[in-house]
């Protein structure tokens, strides 16, 4: 955008609505300059806001109308919603000028939970299918999350989706559950990943619980031949969640499932739901269970019943996100957790507190574990002298440990400068004893906790010293023999 003559006025940091109205329109020379560089543009991000480059794009398209000038554009990340509006206005005039035959990905990433009228969604997908028929990824879940369709618009949407024969990734909300739409998606030969949600529907008129009833049962048995990943946001409206997972009968080859629950559920709900997943999707190797709800009450992903269910799966990657603020919830059997998941390579758990003893069971019973992310309580961590008295079973794998540190008795200096050098060495000694092949620690990428960043740096430094000493000792032994 800086290549356009006079663009400096548009790229002011304090650009506001009044200034936008007073800006002079772009001249024809700007269009000439853009056409020269346009063939080299492969990826573009656009958002509906009166700021900087977005204003230039709006003025630019007033010169060309809906003509596409970015002829080789492949990836478009675009915001279809307007922050000040609860519904999404017709985005076709806004998006048409960006659509190209070369486009392979459209991703809507901002302003979730806006409502899009059924006819608008149908028209949008029809336009995309006509102008970008080779599309591989289409993500519209954020603006289609609350859209419901009658037979006419659903039929139109189904016809448009059926034209996208190269589609691999689709996020389109609950409209995917419409029988006509579901049949169209089932016929796509390369569809690998599907994101859908179930709207809140206390009467059960439009929900996943209808999947086992006609006309869903009439779908061909070879539907969804390539689908391996499903992301789903279910709502629980009855005492039993088992029926909800009857949708899995349509997807025979699932190996990856991501469940997001943001409505009130009971422990019985999620236990039944996980049990249904494990029984209906026995090939799953990657599972993410995310519970994010502010209602009162506590539910646990690490209960004994859920661990018994998960033990049925050949899991290699497991992510569990519990309800925040419940670190002091009743303890679970950490050895049962480790025993249930012997093939696990990647384990990430949030909003649960783990201790050194929990890590002992993981090192002992999870020999393939390579990635670990969880919160660690450092109180009662064994000293270096105490480690020598413990009978620990060391793991043969190398571990990357993303750790979130908890300690009840932090000193003022530790808050400012991280754990003391001596205590950092103690933590490192414990980790090294469990994973002697190598441990590398990190913290959350966007952590604002300076204490945690400094502490992890010190632990890594201490681990490096331990590995170096061990290497020297092994070298000396080899030379002596």
- CB < 8 Å & 24+ apart, contacts of 387-393: 387/429, 387/430, 387/433, 390/433, 392/360, 392/363, 392/364, 392/433, 392/434, 393/360, 393/363, 393/364
Is residue 274 one of the residues assigned to a domain?
no
Query: In the listed set 37, 55, 70, which residue is the last one of a domain according to the structure?
Result: 70
**What is the C-alpha to C-alpha distance for residues 367 and 170, in angstroms, rounded to an integer?**
36
Structure confidence at residue 415 (pLDDT): 57
Q: How many domains does the chain have?
A: 2
77's CB contacts (< 8 A; 6+ apart) are: 43, 44, 45, 46, 106, 107, 108, 109
Is residue 7 one of the residues assigned to a domain?
yes
Residue 334: alpha-carbon gap to chain centroid: 26
Is residue 406 one of the residues assigned to a domain?
yes
Average pLDDT over residues 42-51: 69
Cis peptide before 327 (omega within 30 of 0): no
Range in 186-200, 252-266, 410-424 the model is least confident about: 410-424
Is residue 467 one of the residues assigned to a domain?
yes
pLDDT > 70: percent of the chain? 70
For residue 443, give the DSSP letter: -
For residue 381, give the DSSP letter: P
Structure confidence at residue 417 (pLDDT): 67
Is residue 459 one of the residues assigned to a domain?
yes
Query: What is the domain extent for residue 410?
Result: 359-481
Model confidence pLDDT, tens digit, residues 426-435: 999 999 999 9
- 221 or 389: which leads in pLDDT: 389
Is residue 463 one of the residues assigned to a domain?
yes
Model confidence pLDDT, tens digit, residues 111-153: 556 677 888 889 999 999 999 999 999 998 767 766 777 889 8
Is residue 52 one of the residues assigned to a domain?
yes
Q: Which two tokens stand for residue 1?
A: 């955008």
**What is the C-alpha to C-alpha distance for residues 338 and 434, in angstroms, rounded to an integer?**
14
Is residue 42 one of the residues assigned to a domain?
yes
Are residues 39 and 71 in contact, defined by beta-carbon separation less than 8 angstroms? yes
Q: Which two tokens stand for residue 195?
A: 């994101």
pLDDT > 90: percent of the chain? 36
Query: In the listed set 41, 70, 99, which residue is the last one of a domain according to the structure?
Result: 70
Is residue 30 over pLDDT 80?
no
**What is the C-alpha to C-alpha distance for residues 225 and 128, in angstroms, rounded to an integer?**
24
* CB hemisphere CA count around 316 (13 angstroms): 5
The phi, psi pair for 21, rounded to 5°, reads -65, -30
Is residue 229 over pLDDT 50?
yes
21, with CB counted inside 10 A (0-12, 13-18, 19+), is exposed
**What is the C-alpha to C-alpha distance for residues 246 and 211, in angstroms, rounded to an integer?**
6
Model confidence pLDDT, tens digit, residues 450-477: 788 888 999 999 999 988 877 666 666 6
Is residue 423 over pLDDT 60?
yes
Structure confidence at residue 19 (pLDDT): 47
Question: Which of 323-332, 377-386, 447-456 is predicted most confidently?
Answer: 377-386
Structure confidence at residue 140 (pLDDT): 84
Q: What is the 3-state secondary structure (H, E, C) of 160-212?
A: HHHHCCCCCEEECHHHHHCHHHHHHHHCCCCCCEEEEECCCCCCCCCCHHHCC
Query: In the listed set 70, 90, 108, which residue is the last one of a domain according to the structure?
Result: 70
Helix (H) or strand (E) holding 43: strand 43-46
């Amino acid at each position: 955008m800086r290549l356009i003559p006079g663009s400096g006025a548009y790229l002011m940091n304090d650009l506001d609505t009044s200034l936008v109205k007073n800006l002079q329109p772009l001249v024809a020379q700007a269009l000439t300059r853009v056409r020269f560089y346009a063939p080299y543009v492969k990826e573009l991000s656009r958002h509906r806001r009166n700021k900087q480059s977005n204003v230039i794009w709006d003025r630019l398209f007033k010169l060309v109308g809906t003509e596409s000038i970015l002829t080789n554009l492949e990836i478009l990340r675009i915001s279809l919603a307007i922050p000040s509006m609860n519904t999404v206005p017709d985005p076709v005039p806004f998006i048409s000028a960006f659509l190209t035959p070369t486009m392979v990905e459209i991703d809507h990433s901002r302003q979730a939970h806006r409502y899009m009228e059924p006819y608008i969604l149908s028209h949008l997908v029809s336009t995309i299918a006509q102008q970008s028929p080779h599309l591989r990824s289409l993500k519209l879940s954020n603006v289609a999350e609350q859209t419901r369709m009658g037979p006419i618009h659903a039929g139109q949407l189904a016809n448009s989706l059926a034209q996208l024969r190269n589609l691999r990734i689709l996020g389109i909300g609950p409209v995917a559950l419409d029988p006509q739409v579901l049949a169209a998606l089932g016929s796509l030969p390369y569809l690998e990943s599907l994101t859908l949600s179930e709207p809140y529907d206390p009467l059960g008129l439009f929900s996943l619980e209808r999947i086992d009833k006609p006309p869903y049962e009439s779908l061909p048995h070879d539907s969804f031949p390539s689908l391996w990943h499903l992301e789903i946001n279910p709502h629980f409206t009855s005492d039993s969640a088992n029926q909800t997972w009857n949708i899995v009968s349509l997807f025979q080859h699932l190996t990856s499932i991501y469940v997001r629950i943001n409505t009130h559920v009971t422990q019985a709900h999620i236990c039944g739901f996980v049990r249904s997943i494990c029984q209906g999707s026995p090939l799953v190797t990657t599972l993410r269970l995310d519970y994010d709800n502010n209602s009162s009450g506590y539910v646990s992903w690490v209960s004994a019943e859920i661990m018994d269910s998960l033990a049925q799966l050949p899991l290699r990657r497991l992510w569990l996100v519990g309800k925040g603020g419940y670190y002091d919830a009743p303890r679970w059997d950490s050895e049962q957790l480790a025993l249930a998941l012997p093939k696990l390579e990647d384990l990430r758990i949030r909003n649960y507190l783990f201790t050194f003893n929990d890590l002992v069971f993981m090192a002992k019973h999870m020999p393939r574990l390579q990635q670990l992310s969880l919160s660690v309580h450092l109180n009662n961590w064994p000293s270096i002298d105490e480690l020598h008295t413990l009978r620990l079973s060391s793991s043969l794998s190398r571990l990357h440990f993303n750790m979130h540190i908890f300690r009840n008795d932090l000193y003022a200096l530790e808050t400012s400068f991280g754990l003391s050098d001596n205590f950092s060495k103690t933590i490192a000694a414990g980790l090294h004893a469990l994973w002697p092949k190598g441990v590398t620690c990190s913290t959350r990428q966007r952590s604002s906790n300076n204490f945690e960043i400094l502490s992890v740096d010190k632990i890594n430094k201490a681990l490096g010293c331990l590995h170096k000493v061990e290497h020297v000792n092994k070298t000396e032994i080899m030379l002596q023999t």
